[in-house]
A and B are shown apart, each in its own frame.
Chain A
């Protein structure tokens, strides 16, 4: 099983969720985060003083999928989250050790 972690712009969430459902992904967790990469922040003014807004609002999307879906999922997320502009985000994958569905105690692939 693989955990796919995607940092995306908040307004593409609905689109990403739709394509993930279509690809057979049935669950995910969303975090509201802030961060930056090469998209630097911006300079703003507050009550006459200048400051840098480094941390831009993003969403972190996490989902655990069977190994065979890993490449497809990366591809569909990238496709849906791509706006052509800087700050679209990144995708990482991780190996998952054990998994369990709490209600039924199913483990392994059956749990996802």
Chain B
């Protein structure tokens, strides 16, 4: 089939822009999911975190992040500011930037759920600035930026970012949670775990569906092209596989919670679907639909075990971000090595470890510095009364609002 070169450019550019918009939409999904799974008294805080994290990520990545990741420089990082010096002949550079920036925002928002309900807003923002300006772009330079860190990561492949986006968010979150500590009362003195139920399961479910839809852009757009039969066939497979993995992850969670707890747990089913999505993100383009389902199902099983595991370790994660994004980011990446004969499992393992160590270490140092400089945690009274009143002076669900308030 012949194809006009300009038409290819147009279609490729358009695809990046449209799928980029779908990934942006995932920010709404995160906001609904996180606010649904946390307490009403902290809702304004988590919503503000979600919308500003997206906004800060977009700005910092434009200022320096995109250049660090894709600029000409050395094997470790690229140079330049404000997108200068970056060109692209396959599609519009701006569409490339747009598609990439929404991925950064996704990685950053993973952190907000794990540290919810007890972290100071500004401490979180400062970390986000560092993550989106420096940490994420630098590790991205070694993979999607093409340098393979001077050969150390050659052969490493991650189609849409199980490692590069999701586990990066997960490692950054883990470092933060370890320095932050658990919510008061979550792990009582005598042992055991005290559940702190989410305030709005309809919102959490809506959030999951929104993320599911957005993921068609997240994975579908990562083909980075639409303007050929080969590309569009690949995109179709990617989207079907993405959907299948999510479905399998959800069903796996249904079955596992039914078996383990004799009750299906909606919050686990939601996490299960998301786990399937994270797990397929590393390789939705090569596997058969059946294998995609298998990968997603295993992700759903993993998350059902991961959540109580983190609780046993007294690592408090209100929304399951570590179980979904960190654990399945790793699983999804390694699954490619298991199911794709053209990719070496060992190469992937090296990549997981190198990126993991880098992100965890730099995140830990960043959180540590923030902790020393301004503190991470709100006071005990604030935590008990709810962050919304103290951090923002605003409630998400104000009731009994008399009409005659003193103005």
Contact = CB atoms under 8 A, between A and B. Distances in A.
Interface of A: 9, 11, 14, 34, 42, 44-46, 49-52, 54-55, 85
Contacts of B405: 51-52, 54
Contacts of A50: 407
**Main DSSP-derived SS at the A contact region:** strand
B407 A49 contact: yes
Contacts of B399: 34
Given A46-B394, A51-B407, A52-B406, 13 more contacts: A9-B385, A14-B185, A34-B399, A42-B393, A44-B394, A45-B393, A49-B407, A50-B407, A52-B405, A54-B402, A54-B405, A55-B402, A85-B381
A68 B406 CA distance: 46
Interface string B369-391: 00000000000010011000000
Contacts of B393: 42, 44-45
Nearest to B398: A53
Given A44-B394, A46-B394, A51 B406 contact: yes
Contacts of A42: 393
A11 B406 contact: no
Interface in B175-233: 185
Interface residues of B, number: 12
B163 to A, nearest CB: 40
A22 B341 CA distance: 63
A11 B384 contact: yes
A85 B380 CA distance: 13
20 contacts: A9-B385, A11-B385, A14-B185, A34-B400, A42-B393, A44-B393, A44-B394, A45-B393, A46-B394, A49-B407, A50-B407, A51-B405, A51-B406, A51-B407, A52-B406, A54-B402, A54-B405, A55-B400, A55-B402, A85-B381
Interface of B: 185, 381, 384-385, 393-394, 399-400, 402, 405-407
B188 to A, nearest CB: 10
B394 to A, nearest CB: 7
A85 B185 CA distance: 20
Contacts of B407: 49-51
Contacts of B400: 34, 55
B403 to A, nearest CB: 11
A90 B37 CA distance: 32
A11 B407 CA distance: 30
Nearest to B385: A11
Contacts of A52: 405-406
A65 to B, nearest CB: 27
Contacts of B384: 11
A46 B407 CA distance: 10
A52 B402 CA distance: 10
Contacts of A55: 400, 402
A52 B384 CA distance: 22
A85 B379 CA distance: 15
B189 to A, nearest CB: 13
A46 B405 CA distance: 12
Contacts of B406: 51-52
Contacts of A11: 384-385
Nearest to B406: A52
B273 to A, nearest CB: 32
Contacts of A85: 381
Contacts of A46: 394
B270 to A, nearest CB: 26
A70 B381 CA distance: 30
A25 to B, nearest CB: 21
Nearest to A12: B384
Contacts of B385: 9, 11
A33 B20 CA distance: 45
Contacts of A44: 393-394
A49 B405 CA distance: 11
A107 B385 CA distance: 40
Contacts of A49: 407
B407 to A, nearest CB: 6
A67 B140 CA distance: 71
